[in-house]
Copies of this chain bind each other. A is one copy, B any other.
Amino acid sequence: MNRVRLADVAQAAGVHAATASRALNPAKRDGVNRKTVRRVELAAQRLGYVPNALARGLRTQRSYMVGAVIPDISNTLFPPLVRGAERVLSAAGYTLVLTDTNNDIAAEREQLALLQGRGVDGFIVATATWDDADLEQFGLHSAPVVLVNRNTGGGLLPYVGGDDRRGIHACVDHLVALGHRRIVHLAGPSSTSTGRERTSAFQAAARSHRLSVSKRRIAECTAFTQEEGIRTTRELLDSGDSFTAIVAANDLIALGAIDELRARGIRCPETVSVTGFNDLPFMDRVSPSLTTVRLPLREMGELAAKTLLQRIDLTDIASAARVLLPVQLIERGTTAPAC
């Protein structure tokens, strides 16, 4: 049961450990006699040698591990993203360490430090909040960081996201084309870039269509949840301000809105249309099927991982590239002509 060490392989091949090390390292192999290489490889195979990554990492200061900091992995938004990242990472010989912060910013900080202690080579962070100066400093000075899905206000770190503005514009355009003029927005938390971005896009779109955009027409959720969708819809409905369409900041909020409408006997889409954002799994099958904006989540994960690997290898100084991947409006059953 004792693990086979490099020294064992070396002995079996009749060479010194240093030579075995070189023979097994593709980058250094050329400085070694072909026959020696072969002998070492054979011995390694025969003994079932598995290199000790801890020892290697200690020596090389590289762990070939990447930390993924996720607010809540059971939110179905994140798994495709994580999967995309994992594929790219493992293809490049990296291993993904997952931490779930439970949407707690203190936990984010903690995990960042903890994983840095573990020698992680870089981070993919999906938990960024708008004024997360600590995170920016960390990414600037402590370890390579790539932000995904949510950006920080400073914009100092590389970021991969969806094109929120276009997505919201597409929603508003779609609703206006259906004849809607009184449209409200269930905004995401202003503590997140996605919340802010989508809200400001909504305001811009409304303006460009010359819709009224009184404060009353926007209600801010404190979280991207169904419960908050219910609460804000209730708030808007109770305000007396009438509307025929809702642009929700994401799918869960939209689902909550639909629940509250239903609870009040208001029909969707006949009386009030609703749009979501993200196109979570099964949103094509919920009843009514949700009109929403599809984000290329897998691609986002992949690109975030690739960007991070670049940053790790080049040790390049914080090229704060900001890539917005194209999104797509998916028209389904929750939107219909205004009556």
Contact = CB atoms under 8 A, between A and B. Distances in A.
A115 B86 contact: no
A36 B288 CA distance: 66
Interface string A213-250: 00000000000000000000000000000000000000
Contacts of A58: 52, 54-55, 58
B98 A97 contact: yes
A298 B102 CA distance: 14
A282 B57 CA distance: 43
Contact of A51 (B86, B117, B280): B117
A76 B73 contact: no
Interface string A74-93: 11101110110011001000
B100 A95 contact: no
A114 interface: yes
A1 interface: yes
Interface string A267-285: 0000000000000111101
Given A96-B97, A114-B95, A287-B287, A73 B82 contact: yes
A43 to B, nearest CB: 17
Contacts of A50: 113-114, 116-117
A27 interface: no
Contacts of A209: none
Contacts of A114: 50, 95
Contacts of A57: 54
Given A58-B55, A285-B255, A98 B82 contact: yes
Interface string A286-325: 1111000000001000000000000000000000000000
Interface residues of A, number: 53
A45 to B, nearest CB: 12
Nearest to A75: B79
A179 to B, nearest CB: 26
A118 B118 CA distance: 12
A47 interface: no
Given A63-B54, A118-B95, A79 B86 contact: no
A53 interface: yes
Nearest to A50: B117
A54 B83 CA distance: 26
A99 interface: yes
Interface string A113-143: 1111111000000000000000000000110
Contact of A282 (B78, B141, B286): B286
A72 interface: yes
Tell which of A53, A55, A57, A298 has the most Cβ of chain B within 10 Å: A53
Nearest to A287: B287
Interface in A29-82: 50-55, 57-58, 63, 65, 68, 72-76, 78-80, 82
10 contacts: A50-B116, A55-B58, A58-B58, A65-B118, A72-B83, A74-B80, A74-B281, A76-B281, A255-B285, A285-B287
Contact of A117 (B53, B78, B115, B118): B53
